[in-house]
Amino acid sequence: MSNAYTRFNERAAAKISDAVGTMTMAYCFAILAFVGGFPGLLPDAAQKYALWGSTVFLQLVLLSILGASTKRMAAKTLVEVDGIAVGNDDATTPAD
């Protein structure tokens, strides 16, 4: 079960990281932070949701997902073996 669980987590982290790692999402996050940071731009209820989304959700939830994705990507970095850089993508190049 832990292998299926691990595979699911890795796939979910990769998909979410790919989705939130775009400039479109950066613009959306900037707008959300802007709206959440200035009282009076939205009605009180919407202001609370914008503030919650820009602080709690983005910082606590997405940060941990991006950290898991970074850990996954770090596992795919090149490892030098006997003067040859070997990666998980089966590509080999001479080491500098």
Per-residue pLDDT at 96: 46
Task: Return the number of other C-beta atoms located less than 10 Å from residue 69's C-beta.
Answer: 21
Per-residue pLDDT of 37-66, as tens digits, reads: 777 777 888 888 887 877 787 778 887 787
Residue 92 pLDDT more than 50?
Answer: no
DSSP string, 26-90: HHHHHHHHHHHHSTTSS-HHHHHHHHHIIIIIIIIIIHHHHHHHHHHHHTTS-EEETTEEE-TTS
Instruction: Give residue 2's pLDDT band: very low, low, confident or very high (50, 70, 90).
Output: confident
pLDDT tens digit sequence for 3-45 = 888 888 888 888 888 888 888 888 888 888 787 777 777 788 8
Q: How far is it, in rounded angstroms, from Cα 23 to Cα 44?
A: 29
Q: Hey, what amino acid is at 8?
A: F
For residue 75, give every residue at least 6 positions away whose Cβ sits within 8 Å of its Cβ, in sequence order, or none.
88
> Taking 70 as the threshold, does the pLDDT of residue 90 lie above it?
no
